[in-house]
Chain A
Amino acid sequence: MTIDSAEGHRLEEIRAVPLRHPGRWAATAVLLVLAAMLVHDTVTNRHFGWGIVDSYFLSPPIVQGVEKTLELTFIAMAVGVILGVGFAVMRLSPNPILSGAAWLYIWFFRGTPVYVQLLFWYFISYLQPTVSLGIPFGPQFVHMSANTLVSPLVAAILGLGLNEGAYYAEIVRAGILSVDHGQFEAAQSLGMRRAQLMRRIVLPQAMRIIVPPTGNETISMLKTSSLAVVVTYPELLYKTQNIIATTYEPIPLLIMASFWYLLMTTVLTIGQYYVERYYARGSSFALPLTPIQRLRRNLTTLRRVPFSTSALGEQ
């Protein structure tokens, strides 16, 4: 391609000899050798037990465990998000009692190990054998045994959800603080009340900051849900351990469980990517193409030779 310059010279497109990168070749060679060793070992080392991994991967108890893991992850995460948004808004409230209470909650639940919190909810009936509904310090109307109320699922939800709420409150607070102060003033000058401006103006903008760590937290929650083993909640790791206890094959079964966790976190990662794009609307950064868009673009540009760099910026 040649371009006529203003002075009338013909400017050749530059076709220089590319810079050589010997370091890259050396690093590639080293990594290839290491990868070959790893592959060799995984294929020849029979202790990996690939046959066992395969035979249990889709077995009914494992699939049930996966379902339970997903169920617990989403409920606990939902509890965490709702509590987190609530406590973040409270924490930033001009009311000192509300903001103090939110501070106390975050301090306590972020400051103690989630493992201990789970055990605590599991053993709650030692502390509070019955749970009653009624007037504080007055007559009580409904009595329930804590043991029936706090099932393994409830204990797991309380343990993971309350802990998540404390972390999530700080994420939401960071998001709210990232919104330009002028946005608050503009909304106030239009007569919006605090709750209205939070819901319609501030939180949607805070989402751009909140969403990436939310994906992170959800993935983290999916893995942390395996701690629910201690409250005998029958999720994936619990089911896996049951099988290990009867087959004495820990390595293949733990590999199998890890594959499931990887599969689930991968799906979540893809979901996060698209949610982030949604909340980037109106932001100053141009959205990168999705892999599918990129594939389509590459297929169409392949037909339209030569390769064009201007395709990068536009949507």
Chain B
Amino acid sequence: MREIIRLALTLFMIGLTSAALLTGVNNWTGPIIEERRKSDYLETIASYFPDVESFETKAEENGDSFDLIYDSAGNLLGVMGTILQGGYGGVITYNLAVDTEGIILGLRIISHSETPGIGDVITRESFLAQFIGKSHEDPLQPGEDVDLVSGATESTGSIIGSVRRSVGHIATSYLDFQAEIFDITVVPDGTFQGVAAGGQGDIVVEVVVEGGRLVEIKVLEQKETPTMFVLSYPIIPERMIAEQKLEVDVSTGATASAEGIVNAVRNALEKAIEEGEGEQR
């Protein structure tokens, strides 16, 4: 018994000494680290907004944060987002600078764990520069106005998708741009099918509209990863029916599937409107 107590006491003393030493070092280095992070970040802001005087941070539930940048007169210069996005190898964190017109001033990858030599093309100037000058009104779709890097489709595609969502989010939430709202009331009654790309191939949906209202949304076909798909179905259709609009919050943890469902519904309703107009003529 005495032996056990002696052993425990020795270990306890060693642990205590270690903790005391580490506390000391932490008290010394902690403020330096904090200071450096802050000045690094201010420098990044200043590289996009040279007149920056102060900023106000808005943290969001999903881990992203957005800083409203002001000059010395208190005028809003733009928004700087610090955004987390799942890539191929892990979470990619990047800064996105958007001016008051909703135009992208630039973006910078802060940290990532994509495959060295393959997925890390996302840090290349040539890839990032293609976003500069694009606005929240641009499609920002791979192959349309921005390019994927072949061999690193997953890494570059996730950045493109994230930039598209984030710049839209900044424009509507922080810059007072009205989100374009799809008018459901002009859709004729009936049952319509639509299709759009999800995370892993096409998603086919069936939408029932009665009296200008969404009544039912069913997914008929999809090839999504099952564990991911359950995160966005049926929650996304339920949200759309409850709010009676297509522009619902798609951050579910399976954003690609969620966006796919929303786009497929949009596709169905757009086709329905076109067909309706055709009949009237």
Q: Do A and B bind each other?
A: no
Binding site for B on A (CB under 8 A): none
Give the interface of B toward A (CB within 8 A).
none
